[in-house]
């Protein structure tokens, strides 16, 4: 059975928003790694905003792509150790 585009887009928007809410930068902000964490956060937030814009414009395909890219940025940051996340979350591939 093919995935339902609306359901998947909703789910990925929630995943990205939830992931942004729990990911806490680990390195001090005034270090190179702190700046990298800030850049990753900015990219993820921008993709979340872009996705919401695409949805408002009736473009769920690009909305889903934006949410997926944003989540990928944040998940990569977690795997690189730029962010601390709760142990009991299934939001990340740690």
Whole-angstrom CA distances from 94 to 4, 6, 59, 84, 89 are 27, 28, 31, 10, 10
Question: Would you give the distance in Å from CA 90 to the centre of its chain?
Answer: 13
Question: Would you give the distance in Å from CA 89 to the centre of its chain?
Answer: 14
Statement: residue 22 has pLDDT above 90 = yes
pLDDT digits (tens, 9 = 90+) for 48-78: 999 999 999 999 999 999 999 999 999 999 9
Q: Which residue from 21, 67, 61, 75 is spatially nearest to 47, judged by alpha carbons?
A: 67
Q: What is the predicted pLDDT for the residue at 94?
A: 56
Q: What is the predicted pLDDT for the residue at 19?
A: 94
Helices (H) then strands (E): counts for the chain: 3, 2
CA–CA gap between residue 56 and residue 40 (Å, rounded): 24
């Amino acid at each position: 059975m093919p995935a339902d585009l609306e359901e998947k887009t909703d789910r990925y928007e929630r995943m990205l928003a939830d992931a942004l809410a729990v990911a806490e930068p680990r390195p001090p902000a005034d270090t190179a790694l702190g700046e990298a964490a800030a850049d990753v956060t900015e990219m993820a937030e921008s993709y979340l905003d872009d996705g919401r814009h695409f949805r408002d414009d009736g473009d769920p395909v690009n909305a889903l792509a934006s949410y997926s890219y944003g989540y990928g940025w944040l998940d990569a940051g977690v795997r690189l150790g730029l962010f601390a996340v709760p142990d009991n979350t299934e939001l990340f591939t740690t």
